[in-house]
Amino acid sequence: MQSAAIVAARIARARHTLVLTGAGISAESGVPTFRDAQTGLWSRYRPEDLATPEAFRRDPALIWRWYEWRRGLVAAAAPNAGHRALADLARRVSLTLVTQNVDGMHQRAGSPGTICLHGDLFRNICSITRLAIEPEWIAAHGDEEPPPSPHHPDGYARPGVVWFGENLPQDALDAALAAARRCDVVLSIGTSGMVHPAAGLPGEAQRNGAWFAEINPQRTALSDGADLVVADTAARVLPAIVAALSGA
Ligand code: OAD
């Protein structure tokens, strides 16, 4: 694959590489993306309408059930060749991996120090205090949807993810921006580039002189700004990049 070889050659010469991933990297694991069509039970909801504090206040049981469904789906899925190739790449070159995903797949594939901008699907926090809630508490209140919070009488357990209108974890954002400013190569993989500040990272890297490649079978909000667009899937392209790097 010609374009994989081009990306590999850039990475081989780079002092540091930044990789930004989105839901598309987990698509080949069977985890639905946000903006591609939904199927089944939840097809009448738009995920972005369920991922807000207002939605949770309006109908906490609905939101809790939706996240429980997603947790079950992700727990039953496995990292794919794309996730594994990125873990492999991090063992070969200096690389920062920043993900918008909350599914834990990069960590399960063995990527060290993954920066999670949007939180962790499997954590629970108090809807009012935002303090962490232990799994044992959730298990003991598992028949309540959602379980109550141990930290506040009016609070509920909610997933430890970032919803629209909420701030990203500052330490994660700072680390991602620092990597954007020092990398020579930035890759955007499987993201529509619609949600900021994550979507601004490739541009920030480019303003600091980095070369930018996008890996996505569809064109996105970031495609026009990319130096190279590889119009193929993550599980096909990423192993080809690692193979080209090994051969280089
Ligand atoms: P989207 O659902 O917006 O975009 C997924 C992208 O993955 C699309 O551009 C697809 O073309 C692409 N894609 C699909 N299959 C692919 C494959 N096999 N290989 C590579 N790319 C593929 O998901 P995100 O951009 O991650 O935020 O969405 C960003 C944020 O919006 C999410 O983190 C979430 C969501 O609402 C919060 O929950 C705060």
Has residue 38 got a pLDDT over 80? no
Q: Are residues 150 and 189 in the same domain?
A: no
Has residue 248 got a pLDDT over 60? no
Q: Are residues 8 and 96 in the same domain?
A: yes
Which residues are CB-neighbours of 123 under 8 A, at least 6 positions away?
132, 159, 160
Q: Are residues 195 and 126 in the same domain?
A: no
Closest-CA residue, ligand 1 atom 29, reads 195
Instruction: Please report the atom of ligand 1 found closest to the CA of residue 34.
Output: 2
118 catalytic per annotation = yes
Instruction: Please report the atom of ligand 1 found closest to the CA of residue 48.
Output: 36
Q: Are residues 63 and 154 in the same domain?
A: yes
Q: In this structure, what DSSP letter does residue 170 have?
A: H
Q: For 174, left (φ over 0), alpha (ψ -120 to 50), or beta?
A: alpha
Would you state the pLDDT for residue 46? 80
**Amino acid residing at 96:** T
Q: Are residues 228 and 192 in the same domain?
A: yes
Please compute the mean of the pLDDT values over residues 194-211 and round it to a whole number: 97
d(CA 47, ligand 1 centre) in Å: 11
pLDDT band at 39 (very low <50, low <70, confident <90, very high): low
Give residues (CB < 6 A) around ligand 1: 22-24, 27-28, 33-36, 48, 51, 100, 118, 161-162, 190-192, 194-195, 216-218, 220, 233-234
**DSSP β-bridge partners for residue 158:** 125
Instruction: Return d(Cα 211, Cα 103) in angstroms, integer.
Output: 28
Annotated binding-site residue? 100: yes
- Neighbour count for residue 2 (Cβ, 10 Å): 8
Would you state the pLDDT for residue 36? 77
Instruction: Please report the atom of ligand 1 found closest to the CA of residue 82.
Output: 19
Q: Are residues 150 and 247 in the same domain?
A: no
pLDDT band at 40 (very low <50, low <70, confident <90, very high): low
Has residue 45 got a pLDDT over 90? no
Q: Are residues 84 and 194 in the same domain?
A: yes
Indicate if the alpha-carbon torsion angle 172, 178, 180, 185 is positive or negative: negative
Cα distances (Å, whole numbers) of residue 212 to 26, 66, 104, 209: 21, 35, 25, 9
CA nearest neighbour of 202 among 217, 220, 164: 220
Burial of 141 (0-12, 13-18, 19+ CB in 10 A): middle
Q: Which domain holds residue 154?
A: 32-76+120-161
Cα-flanking dihedrals φ and ψ of residue 104, to 5°?
70, 10
